[in-house]
């Protein structure tokens, strides 16, 4: 029931992470470069990784959709493991599938997993 684990935060957080990773590839001119695990980690890749993680963190806070694992999505993309734009919908589809699975499993277990956003307690 943590807000960071709600479907809203998970889906939006990973979308932000993927787009920030892809944007950092273009900003650093690495869109056609091989993955960092093949070529090694050079300074442009370090800049891309730092930029993607910083942008993703800032945007998730700004939009109030904090989801820490989405930082790994930003890194996966900025390190060149998924550097093509058409790979991002596949990544996000996998995230959506996992959210659906979490919903079903939690509901079957009697845990009130939210449909979109964790309800906030009345103050």
| Structure-token pair, residue 110 | 């009697």
Mind listing the pLDDT tens digit for each residue in 12-34?
999 999 999 999 999 999 999 99
Distance CA 13, CA 102 (A): 16
Distance CA 111, CA 14 (A): 24
CB neighbours (10 Å) of residue 107?
Answer: 11
The answer to whether 61 and 16 have CB atoms below 8 angstroms apart is no
For the entire predicted model, the pTM comes to 0.92
For 62, phi then psi, to 5°, come to -60, -45
CB neighbours (10 Å) of residue 18?
Answer: 26
Mind listing the pLDDT tens digit for each residue in 73-110?
999 999 999 988 899 999 999 999 999 999 999 999 99
């Amino acid at each position: 029931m943590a807000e960071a684990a709600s479907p809203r935060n998970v889906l939006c957080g990973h979308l932000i992470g993927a787009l920030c990773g892809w944007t950092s590839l273009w900003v650093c001119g690495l869109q056609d470069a091989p993955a960092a695990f093949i070529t090694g980690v050079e300074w442009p890749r370090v800049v891309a990784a730092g930029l993607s993680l910083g942008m993703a963190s800032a945007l998730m806070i700004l939009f109030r959709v904090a989801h820490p694992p989405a930082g790994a999505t930003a890194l996966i993309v900025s390190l060149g493991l998924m550097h093509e734009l058409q790979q991002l919908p596949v990544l996000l589809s996998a995230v959506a599938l996992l959210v659906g699975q979490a919903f079903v499993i939690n509901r079957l277990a009697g845990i009130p997993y939210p449909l979109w956003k964790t309800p906030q307690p009345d103050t």
